[in-house]
Amino acid sequence: MSAPLKFRPHHFLCALGFEGKGYSSGFIANMSGIVDGQLRGPQGDETVIEVVRDADAICAPCPQRIGAGCAKQDRITALDDAHADALRLTGGDRLTWGEAQARIKEHVTPEVMERICGGCGWLEQGMCRRALARLRADGSD
């Protein structure tokens, strides 16, 4: 069994909405490898993710990264706190990508997304809204 992916709480929604855009070519390549290469792959729903509260697999090549932190740490901490609360996540939790998507579907409405993602520049581009709509429409309960 491979080591779990490490994700900050707000990166669960970032991974859901990823459409091949990012901060730099290195960031995009890394994010594509994680999202397209693992999470959206044939066994993607079984990928184990561990919740962390500092730099994670997605942060690795980010130009804003400073050690285990971020140049915009206060904003990132606020995003992580809001997402952790909405998704009922705490540091050290382990869940599969399939379980993560089920939590997103259950707990994140478009209104909740507007609140927990407030201030994120990617929210304005609509990628995450579209991804959430697809997830919530898929196999409606």
pLDDT, averaged across the chain: 91
Instruction: Give dist(CA 128, CA 134) in Å, integer.
Output: 10
Residue of 80, 27, 120, 104 lying closest to 35 (CA atoms): 27
Q: Which amino acid is at 35?
A: V
Whether this prediction's pTM lies above 0.75 is answered by yes
Q: How many residues belong to the chain? A: 141
- Write out pLDDT tens, residues 81-133: 999 999 999 999 999 999 999 999 999 999 999 999 988 888 888 889 999 99
Instruction: Give dist(CA 133, CA 105) in Å, integer.
Output: 9
